[in-house]
A and B are shown apart, each in its own frame.
Chain A
Amino acid sequence: MITTQEFQYLPSEHEAEKASNSYLMSLLAIIAGLPLPIINLIATFVFYLGNRKGSYFVRWHCTQALVSQLTVLLMNSVGFWWTISIIFSDEVISGRYISYILTILIFNIIDLIATIYTAIETRKGIHVKWWFYGDLTNLICKS
């Protein structure tokens, strides 16, 4: 799911720190944004905008940090509105709802672990490419 690869060039200490920060940013945003899933996307997007003129290594990792959140955002949004409809409308707690919440919990934990690992490795200047999201980033982010 996650592979480490040689980057086109060896990133400097400063670049590695900035790239790693993009994952830390998304990590903090996930925690802060859990009650309202859109917050983490906005926070990461703002960080991405701030670094879109940075070096290729920094831009690439900011982009990967951003796109890797899209699927989790969708899953969490459905979970969030489902919960709201249970609290405020006629919807009731069901086995389907509980299993959905557990499913998104598993996906969020996987995302959290992958993000922490990537933040640590990127800080060392190692290029970490995620399955699917890495290829998607390659498509979006050009050198």
Chain B
Amino acid sequence: MKKLLLQFLAILIIFYATWFALNSIDWMHIFNVEQTTKKTEEKLGDFYWDLLNKTESEIQSVEVVSKIDSLLDRICLKNNIDRNKIKFHLLKKDEVNAYALPNNYLIVYSGLIDECENEAELCGVLSHEIAHMEKHHVMKKLGKEVGLAVLISMTAGNGNAEVAKRTLKLLSSTAYDRNLESEADITAADFLMKANIDPEAFANFLFRLSKLNGNIPKEVFWISTHPDSEERSVKIIQHIKDKVIHKDSILSIEQWNSLKQEVNFK
């Protein structure tokens, strides 16, 4: 019996030694795993943006974009995020919506800015979407819901337009699963605190929109597709409780008001 146990132990040792030895080789580099994933993400992002660019109208006014850029600059700078990698686009649309596309495309609809009461609320939503990018949630969601094979075939030019439209709709109008949303909320709150922006405003924004419950206009996409908003706002409040928060506004009241006016097309 002792001999058997020793032999079994030897099998375990051989197994772990083989695994350990093979683990010392950089397989990710050899099989180009990271590079292939990155290339697929780049191609997909560009592909979706082209699709969106053809159907939606983009607001390119320097006056408007520079103000949102200054908000993004603060969030990125204070959180060591490379600002240049984020491709921000503001679309002229009434929907209260913002979403991240592969390859760090950040799409914001003018309706969202119109709905925000102050810059901290808008920064909250921007931080939430940046958190999805930083945590690689976009590709995870696509991979899970559509399948990597379909995504790769789309980037190779074999995908049909219907599939592309369907997957774009998936990214723009459906939430991530509960765990990913929660992770993005908490990360966003951390981003905001580091950037000296009030995270409570983000929680208030979620809470305010959750009160529209049952009476949500079709246009309020961001909240109707992100259920349990009240619960999420409570979680954010709990997370920031007892933390010292410095508040340092980025835009002046006049600049914020003029931004709201410039995107109001009603």
List, in ascending order, chain A residues with CB within 8 A of B7's CB: 131-132, 135
Whether, in the assembled complex, A93 has its beta carbon less than 8 Å from a beta carbon of chain B, the answer is yes
Is the contact region of chain A dominated by helix, strand, or loop, or is it mixed?
A: helix
Tell me which residues from 77 to 106 in chain A have a Cβ below 8 Å from any Cβ of chain B: 87-88, 90, 92-96, 98-100, 102-103, 106
Whether, in the assembled complex, A143 has its beta carbon less than 8 Å from a beta carbon of chain B, the answer is no
Whether, in the assembled complex, A107 has its beta carbon less than 8 Å from a beta carbon of chain B, the answer is yes
The docked-state distance in angstroms from the alpha carbon of A88 to that of B23 is 24
For B1, B11, B179, which residue has the most chain A Cβ atoms within 10 angstroms?
B11
Chain A: how many interface residues by the 8 Å CB criterion? 22
Whether, in the assembled complex, A39 has its beta carbon less than 8 Å from a beta carbon of chain B, the answer is no
CB pair B19 A98 closer than 8 Å: no
Q: A135-B4, A139-B4 are in contact. List 14 more A-B contacts (CB 8 A).
A: A71-B11, A75-B15, A92-B136, A93-B28, A95-B25, A98-B33, A99-B19, A100-B19, A103-B19, A103-B22, A106-B18, A132-B4, A132-B7, A135-B3
Interface residues of B (CB under 8 A from A): 1, 3-4, 7-8, 10-11, 15, 18-19, 22-23, 25-28, 31, 33, 136, 140, 144, 179-180
Show 21 A/B contacts (Cβ-Cβ < 8 Å), sorted by A.
Answer: A71-B11, A87-B144, A88-B144, A92-B136, A93-B33, A94-B28, A96-B23, A98-B33, A99-B23, A99-B25, A99-B27, A100-B19, A103-B18, A103-B22, A106-B18, A107-B18, A132-B11, A135-B3, A135-B4, A136-B4, A139-B1
